[in-house]
């Protein structure tokens, strides 16, 4: 299995809702990432988990809360989002610190109303 899967594909939520994005990989990769991508812009790094521990938080607002329950699964919990948080949220995984190439999922298209 050489895929990174993300669910849901699309999500519409109100500013008072709580929702979660899910990412899964079964390649045995030891690092997993969350990125935010706005239209016609490059991916912006949000969080990195390395060996199931949060290793990078790029000063992301606390309304985004990552979680890594195990080495294959990465969640992004969303609460009290703003309309400007609407974007494509990408998950990626990377084999190890010896190989930084990333495998990306298809993303979750999030719309905050």
Q: Which residues bind other proteins (CB under 8 A)?
A: 31, 33, 40-45, 48, 50, 55-56, 90, 92, 94, 97, 99-107
Contact 52, 32 (CB under 8 A): no
Cβ 96 to other proteins shortest distance, Å = 10
Instruction: Please tell me whether residue 22 adopts helix, strand or coil conformation.
Output: strand
Choice between 17 and 71, CB closer to other proteins: 71
For 28, which DSSP code? -
84 vs 101, beta carbon nearer other proteins = 101
When the beta carbons of 12 and 97 are compared against other proteins, the nearer one is 97
What per-residue string of b and e applies to 80-94 under the rule 16 or more CB within 10 Å gives b?
Answer: ebeeebbbbbbbbbb
């Amino acid at each position: 299995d050489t895929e990174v899967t993300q669910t849901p594909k699309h999500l519409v939520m109100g500013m008072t809702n709580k929702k979660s994005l899910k990412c899964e990989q079964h390649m045995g990769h030891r690092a997993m990432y969350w990125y935010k991508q706005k239209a016609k812009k490059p991916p912006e790094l949000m969080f990195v988990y390395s060996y199931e521990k949060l290793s990078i938080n790029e000063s992301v607002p606390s309304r985004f809360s990552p979680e890594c329950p195990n080495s294959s699964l990465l969640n992004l919990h969303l609460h009290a989002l703003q309309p400007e948080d609407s974007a494509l949220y990408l998950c990626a995984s990377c084999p190890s610190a010896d190989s930084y190439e990333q495998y990306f999922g298809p993303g979750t298209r999030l719309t905050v109303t």
